[in-house]
Amino acid sequence: MGIYSCIGKNLDEVRESLYNGKSGIVFDPVRKEMGFRSALTAYLEKPDLKGVLSRNQRVYMPEQAMYAYVATAEALKNAKIDQDYLDSHVVGLMYGNDSSADPVVKAVDTMRAKKDTTLVGSGAIFQSMNSTVTMNLSCIFKLRGINLTVSGACASGSHAIGLGALLISNGLQDMVVCGGAQEVNPFSIGSFDGISAFSVRESDPTRASRPFDRDRDGLVPGGGAATVIIEEYEHAVKRGAPILAEVLSYGFSSNGDHISTPNVAGPTASLEMAIRLAGINIDEIGYINAHATSTPVGDAQEAKAIYNVFGDRRIEVTSTKSQTGHEMWMAGASEVIYSMLMMKNDFIAANINFENPDEDSAKLLIPDKRIEKKFNTFLSNSFGFGGTNATLIVRNID
C-alpha cells in the first residue's frame, strides 16, 4: 500500500492522523476570491519530483499523477517490488480517475489568449486526458499488463480495485497496481460548488465535514492518491511478498435513477452482492467504512442501506471523510487503505464531528471517538454520481 493524502504523505503519517482524529481541511482564500460559495478544501502540498523524475517524465504529469506516483512508489517498495521485477514480469495497472480539469482550463485559456496552439506545450494533451494517471504511471514504471483508467465518479477507486481483483481471480493477471487519484484545485470542483454541494461552515473548517451528523450541510472536497498492489495469492506466497490482506469480494450495482440523488435500493444491492460473494457470515465483518460524504441526503440513504443489510447488529460504522473530506475519484482506494491501517493497528478511527445523530444515523453504531478494537474483516462502500455503487470486503492476513 502507499498513499499521499491531506492527512499524511505516507502510510505512517496517515496512520497517526487517523489515530489522533486529525482533520486535513482548511479555508482557501483563493477560492473565495474566485466567487466560490464554499472555500473549504483539503490541503496538500504538491510533491517535488524534480531530481526524482526527469523533466521529460514530469512534463506530462498533472498534480494527481504526481500524487499517484508518490503513492505507487511507496506501495511498490512496501510490496518488495523493484524495477528489476517490473521489467521481468507482466504487471497490470488499473487506476480510478474521473477528471483532469486544471490542465484543460489552462490549455484553453492559452489557446484563447494567444491564438496559437503551439504555446499550449507538449504536456497539455497528456495531462488533460482522463487516463492521464495510468498513461503516466505505466510509462514511468514500465508496466506491461492491463493499462486502464476506471472512471466511475466517486466510486472510481473502488471499482479499480474490484476489477483488478476480478482480473486476478480469472487468471488474466498475476499482479495489478490499483488505486485512485484526485486533483485538488479550484477549477476541478468549481461546478460542484455551483450546485451547492459543499459545506459552508467556513468559520470552522475542521468541523465542516461531519458525515452522519444531524447538522451536516454538505461535503468538503479533498484529494491525493492511494495505491494498493493486488496479487494472486499463490504468486505472492511464492515470491515471499509481505501479504497484508485478501480482497474477499467486490459488489456493484447501479441505481438506474437520478443523476445526483442517491437511492437506497442501489447501495443495498451492492452491499448484498459483496456479502454474498465473500462467502462469509455477516457477523464476521468487524468494521464498515461508509461512503458518507456529509451531504444531507446521501448519508441518510446510505444509513438506511446499511441498516437494511446489517439490521441491529451494531457493527462500528465510520466515515473517514470526516477527517479527509471527500476524496472523490481517489476515495474508494484511500478508504481501503485507511481501513487497512485501522485493521492492522487494532483501532477504529473516530467519525469526528459526529455530535448528534439524525433519525437514520441513530440506528447505526457510529463512534465519535477512536476505539481500540481488533477486527479481521471490513467492508468499504463507495457510491458516485449517476448512481454507480461499489462495495469491497477485505479480510486480514497475519
Partner 1 sequence: MESSELISKLNNILAQEFEVDVAKIKPEANIKETLMLNSLDAVDMIAVIEYEFGVKIPSGEYAHMKVFSQLYEYMLNALKN
Active site members = 154, 291, 326
What does the alpha-carbon distance between residue 318 and residue 155 come to, in Å, rounded to a whole number? 17
Out of 20, 83, 122, 345, name the contact with partner 1 by CB under 8 A. 122
Q: Quick one: cell of 218?
A: 454538505
The grid cell for 130 is 482522463
CB of 125 to partner 1, least distance (A): 9
Choosing from 26, 49, 59, 365, the residue that interacts with partner 1 (CB under 8 A) is: 59
CB of 60 to partner 1, least distance (A): 9
Distance CA 381, CA 335 (A): 9
Question: Which candidate, 245, 198, 260, 218, places its Cα nearest to that of 341?
Answer: 245
339-378 mask for partner 1 (x: CB under 8 A)? ----------------------------------------
Which member of 13, 26, 57, 121 binds partner 1 (CB under 8 A)?
121
Determine the Cα–Cα distance for residues 75 and 91; give it in Å rounded to an integer. 14
Q: How far is the CB of 114 from partner 1 (least distance, A)?
A: 9
- Encode 303-316: b = buried (16+ Cβ within 10 Å), e = exposed: bbbbbebbeeeebb
- CA dist 18 and 6 (Å) reads 11
Closest residue by Cα to residue 383 from 391, 373, 392, 395 = 391
Please report how close the Cβ of residue 122 comes to partner 1 at its closest, in angstroms: 4
What are the distances in angstroms from CA 332 to CA 52, 80, 337, 349? 28, 24, 9, 17
User: What x-and-dash track marks residues 18-57 binding partner 1 by CB under 8 A?
Assistant: --------------------------------x---xxx-
Q: How far is the CB of 118 from partner 1 (least distance, A)?
A: 6
Rounded to a whole number of angstroms, the minimum distance from the CB of residue 132 to partner 1 is 15
**Rounded to the nearest whole angstrom, what is the least distance from the CB of residue 272 to partner 1 in the complex?**
49
- Report d(CA 299, CA 318) in Å as an integer: 11
- Residue 116 within binding range of partner 1, rule CB under 8 A: yes
**88 versus 118: smaller Cβ distance to partner 1:** 118
At 231 the three-state DSSP class reads strand
Pick 123 or 367: Cβ nearer partner 1: 123
Indicate the residue among 118 and 170 with the shorter CB distance to partner 1. 118
For partner 1, give the closer residue by CB, 51 or 240. 51
Residue 123 or 190 having the CB closest to partner 1:
123
Alpha-carbon span 83 to 303, nearest angstrom: 44
Q: Stretches 26-34, 119-127, 226-234, 294-302: which one binds partner 1 (CB under 8 A)?
A: 119-127
The sheet with strand 2-5 has its strands ordered as 2-5, 224-231, 175-182, 92-96, 147-150
The answer to whether 297 contacts partner 1 (rule: CB under 8 A) is no
Q: Count the residues of the shown chain that bind partner 1, applying the rule CB under 8 A.
A: 12
In the set 88, 118, 203, 281, which binds partner 1 (CB under 8 A)?
118
| Residue matched to cell numbers 486529525 | 22
Interface residue with partner 1, options 108, 119, 243, 362 (CB under 8 A) = 119
Which cell is 207 given? Answer: 468541523
Nearer residue to partner 1 within complex by CB, 128 or 158:
128
| Interatomic CA distance for residues 339 and 247, integer angstroms | 13
* Beta carbons within 10 angstroms of residue 346's beta carbon: 11
Q: For partner 1, give the closer residue by CB, 121 or 357.
A: 121
The binding site for partner 1 (CB under 8 A) comprises 50, 54-56, 59, 116, 118-123
